[in-house]
Structure 1
Amino acid sequence: MKSKSIAAPSAGGITMPYQSADAEARLYAKVQWRLIPFLMLCYLGAYLDRVNVGFAKLQMLNDLKFSETIYGLGAGIFFLGYFLFEVPSNIILHRVGARKWLARIMLTWALISASFVFVKTPTSFYVMRFLLGMAEAGFAPGVILYLTYWFPSVRRAKALSMFFMAIPLAGIVGGPLSGYIMQAFQGYHDLAGWKWLFMLEALPSLVLGVAILFYLENGIDEAKWLNDQEKALLKHNVASEGAHKVEHLSIAAFVQDRRLWLMAAIYFCVVLGQYGLTFWLPTIVKKAGVQDPFWVGVLTALPYICTIIALPLIGMSADRRRERRLHLAVPMILSAAAFLLLPQLSSVSASIACLSVAAAGILSASSMFWALPSAMLGGVSAAAGIAAINCIANLAGFFSPAIVGWLNDLTGHSTAGLVFISLVVFFGVTLVFRVPAKTVNR
């Protein structure tokens, strides 16, 4: 069977030969292997520094005499800083380039994360979480925007699913590592284990922040590892899909676009479920009957291993079938059902199995969601739109731990919080089917 050919444009005065579909696939594989593993490592560091507070909680609350409500509010305040600085961050990235701006983001949050060692009061906890959110704002939406410079929407679901595999990898690596640090370093140099946790887990972000300056290119034109024909083909594919995207002409038109608000609402529901999982997973495992911090860490890694398997399979299926809505809705349904079932389980093994379904579903949905807005927006609209959707939706990261913590304190157990998460995710599914299939299934 003959492979499909595409007409290639001219670039820099060079007329390109026709490229087969197989050759084009190899080119995109080359781009993926150059960019995605490194960006995954960076996001792994970001996510580790963002959610290791869930493990620190196991010791920190007792040491500092914090309640579940104080913890939940502090965990969520991170997202207020995120909300305020995310859109400006993405616009700056679009103007000054990804290399310098992503490096700045990583170096700043690494220093702030290590500074959690000085937290003593609820107020200092709230301030540090807010500063961490402010520092990290723009990294994930910045990378999503950056990938639109390289991949057309028809190839982006796979690239995004690979990038978002950093979240379960952070759980796989971070769980046992966090448990080990808290256990092995407890009392070392008269510091609590949770303080060592914040200091040591900030080091990877610090190193990777420096590495970005030497490794990452701002776009296709700067890539010395591509020849002129490869650059021209990549730019042609990105430019040709630009004709199908929305490019808002004014701020008013941007704000009045109902599709942006629908996207933000959908992602709000996904994010609420995502952080309901990540901020409370260690606590759920501990309450299931596991007391040793190291084994809590090991068992929390298991749901993320299931997610590692699910993410690329769902992403490849979405690209192959060119279908986005069901590939987002079905994982959300499975996750919501698992959250609803979880309070009824009493054994550790059953709880871990249910948490695995919840994790695989909600984190796959988090990845698959971005195939929707990135298929519709282009140019500066993409920079502002992706960041706006992400920052509005990430307010769920504030409400999720705050409400769940309050419900846990109010009722004395976690059932009400998990039911709340389940209902919100189910509601998000209904919103997914309000997105016209023809606008995203390309």
Structure 2
Amino acid sequence: MPDASLSPEPALERALSQARWRLLPLLSLGYIAAYLDRVNISFAQEPMSHALGLTAETYGLGAGLFFVSYALFEIPSNALLLRFGARRWLARIMLTWGLMAMAMATVHSSTSFYSMRMLLGIAEAGYFPGVIFYLSLWFPARERARAISLFYLGLPLSNVVMGAAAGTLLRLSGTLHLAGWQWLFLVEGLPAVLISLAVFALLPDDPHDAKWLAPEERNALLEHLQGEASGLGAAAHGGWRLALRSPMTWLLGGGYFLMLGANYGLSFSLPAMLAQATGLSSTAVGSLVVWIGVAGASLMLLNGIHSDRNGERRWHIVAPLLIMGALLLLAGGGLRLHGWLAALALGAGVAAYSSFQGPMLSLPITIFSGEAAAVGMAAINMCGIAGGFVFPYLMGWLRERTGGYAAGVSVLAVPCALAAVIIAVLLKPSSRPQQNAIADEPSSLEEWFPDVAPDAEGGS
């Protein structure tokens, strides 16, 4: 009688379990460093602006310029990842952005502030979509929302790290003749450099290179992924041109532009808004940001796991978006009263944003495969990153003209609502029978975009 432990399904589960523990913690650590280094200027905003003479509008523009250069280099970076392999390219990205993040301590004027933010964007371009594509090489559709949520824990957990460390680092002002905000950039850029060395040493390019997988585990995983990919049809396996030609790429990109833009419009001013609303010190505000990060991490995991278990994406994205929009409207009103109501609504809004990332980011790598998935994910993230430029600048512009944050926060409810409408329409259930019990969203798109449907036939 054959040993059940050697049957394909147990071998597959063992392979997936090992992939979770060996890949996701390291990649999530990388994203903690990435998000930390792009938004730590939110804590440096007040002392740095005072030292350099930056206005609110100038700060908003500088904060957003990171996303312009990031977006421009997003697709080329993912194309180079395909050429050089995930291990080399992701390690290179982390090393260069860590060095650029540390170099932010040398900023001495508005011009150098703009320049360094753009260089940081060039250095970091490609890490996030590259990892999302990389996860598609390891995890089947039924596991992807959870896997992406575990990776994306880096976002709320970066708030935990930033909140815990920022107050201490800012208090180093004067040490070695450096300002506190300079210490903030120097210390918080170093982890990316160190993690890049671990990525280069430990990350396999794909399951073929994973020495820690037994042969039967590797074979079971590869066979399952190949079988799942073949079910997408030939059209979904095209090259980068397929992804860039597909309306689905740009519609999802438009939704992500609104989502990510609302988040960054909020994040870059969050510590200052919390301080205004509560009257707390920078250290106490940091502690509050820690709790917001913990709440966001918890909701992210719960929503991602629930989405995978139920094979549903639409309402796991739309409902948190609508809740986030309502909370931002509430916070906008609360900021006029300078109360704790605003602080609670702001924190809950950030946590709501975190919760839908797993289901949302699983969509491109469910619709496309291979090179099309890599470039499609990069294009969608490029659109989202563009929102990271527009909305922080809008927040600064509105603050300059209204004298406060209330109008800007209220306006951020609009992109949340629009993104919810886009996702609700795109993922509207099809009248046709579902063929994929795990990921219903591609089948629901068949009437819209048959060229990327899972059962599409024919060549590219």
Q: How does 1:38-437 map to 2 (within 5 A)?
A: 38-183=26-171, 185-245=172-232, 246-247=235-236, 249=238, 253-345=242-334, 346=337, 349-436=340-427, 437=429
Look up the equivalent residue of 1:192 and give its one-letter code: A
Query: d(CA) in 1 for partners of 2:315 and 2:219?
Result: 34
Deviations 1:144-169 (A, max 9, x none): 01101101111100000111111010
Query: d(CA) in 1 for partners of 2:40 and 2:328?
Result: 21
* Cα drift, residue 291 of structure 1: 4.7
Contact kept? 2:304, 2:356, Cα under 8 Å: no
* Cα drift, residue 176 of structure 1: 2.1
Contact kept? 1:181, 1:193, Cα under 8 Å: yes
Look up the equivalent residue of 1:388 and give its one-letter code: A
* Cα drift, residue 368 of structure 1: 2.4
1:9 aligned partner: none
Return structure 1 stretches of 4+ with deviation > 6 angstroms: none
**Unaligned segments of structure 1, at least 5 residues:** 6-15
Query: d(CA) in 2 for partners of 1:204 and 1:116?
Result: 15
* Cα drift, residue 274 of structure 1: 1.4
Please say which of residues 301-310 and 52-61 is displaced more in the overlay.
Answer: 301-310
Please say which of residues 105-114 and 291-300 is displaced more in the overlay.
Answer: 291-300
Identity %: 36
Contact kept? 2:257, 2:387, Cα under 8 Å: yes
Secondary structure of 1:34 counterpart: helix
Query: d(CA) in 2 for partners of 1:377 and 1:104?
Result: 26
Please say which of residues 231-240 and 345-354 is displaced more in the overlay.
Answer: 345-354
Deviations 1:98-150 (A, max 9, x none): 11101100110111111111111111101100000000000011100110110
Deviations 1:371-421 (A, max 9, x none): 111110001101111001101221000001001110111111112211221
- How many residues align? The count is 426
Query: d(CA) in 2 for partners of 1:17 and 1:291?
Result: 59
Query: d(CA) in 2 for partners of 1:121 and 1:307?
Result: 35
Secondary structure of 1:42 counterpart: helix
* Cα drift, residue 69 of structure 1: 0.3
Query: d(CA) in 2 for partners of 1:272 and 1:177?
Result: 26
Contact kept? 1:303, 1:355, Cα under 8 Å: no
Seen in structure 2, the aligned counterparts of structure 1 residues 259 and 145 have a Cα distance that, compared at 3 Å, is same
Contact kept? 1:247, 1:377, Cα under 8 Å: yes
* Cα drift, residue 337 of structure 1: 0.6
* Cα drift, residue 88 of structure 1: 0.8
Query: d(CA) in 2 for partners of 1:287 and 1:352?
Result: 9
Look up the equivalent residue of 1:441 and give its one-letter code: D
* Cα drift, residue 366 of structure 1: 2.9
* Cα drift, residue 29 of structure 1: 2.0
Look up the equivalent residue of 1:213 and give its one-letter code: F
Normalized against structure 2, the TM-score is what? 0.89
Seen in structure 2, the aligned counterparts of structure 1 residues 255 and 211 have a Cα distance that, compared at 3 Å, is closer
Secondary structure of 2:119 counterpart: helix
* Cα drift, residue 249 of structure 1: 4.2
Seen in structure 2, the aligned counterparts of structure 1 residues 252 and 197 have a Cα distance that, compared at 3 Å, is closer
Contact kept? 1:165, 1:311, Cα under 8 Å: yes
Please say which of residues 41-50 and 428-437 is displaced more in the overlay.
Answer: 428-437
Contact kept? 1:273, 1:400, Cα under 8 Å: yes
Secondary structure of 1:186 counterpart: coil
Look up the equivalent residue of 1:428 and give its one-letter code: A
Secondary structure of 1:224 counterpart: coil
Please say which of residues 111-120 and 237-246 is displaced more in the overlay.
Answer: 237-246
Query: d(CA) in 1 for partners of 2:240 and 2:306?
Result: 36
Seen in structure 2, the aligned counterparts of structure 1 residues 367 and 283 have a Cα distance that, compared at 3 Å, is farther
2:453 aligned partner: none
1:441 aligned partner: 440
Contact kept? 2:277, 2:343, Cα under 8 Å: no
Contact kept? 1:334, 1:357, Cα under 8 Å: no
Look up the equivalent residue of 2:393 and give its one-letter code: A
Seen in structure 2, the aligned counterparts of structure 1 residues 56 and 308 have a Cα distance that, compared at 3 Å, is same
